[in-house]
Amino acid sequence: MSGEIKILYSDVEQELAKVESAVQQVDGTYPSSIGEGNVLDVVTRLNELSTELQLVIEQYQMLVLKNIESTRQSLEVMRETDHQISSSIR
């Protein structure tokens, strides 16, 4: 068994770009005033849930984008480490 870990940097970067694009395309806006003027409790609750869902989606998007950035930074560190190791071997 080989102790080698092979990272295909361009493949990882492409996939990160796809995830980033997909998460940015998610539309987290929902109507917050369904049944305007209606006094039914269910309509009020539906509006509350819609607002909460919008906040959850926005938080999720921010979290995914932060994770993508963290992954990119880790990838760069690995790339630099690979380069340093290969330079020291030569």
What is the per-residue pLDDT for 41?
86
Please enumerate in sequence order all residues whose Cβ is within 8 A of that of 90, keeping only pairs 6 or more positions apart, or say none. none
pTM of the complete model = 0.77
Dihedral of the alpha carbons of 42, 44, 46, 47, in degrees to the nearest 10: 170
Per-residue pLDDT of 7-58, as tens digits, reads 899 999 999 999 999 999 998 777 767 777 777 888 888 888 989 999 999 9
What is the per-residue pLDDT for 38?
75
What is the per-residue pLDDT for 6?
86
Secondary structure class of 8 (helix, strand, coil): coil
- Domain ranges in the chain? 9-89
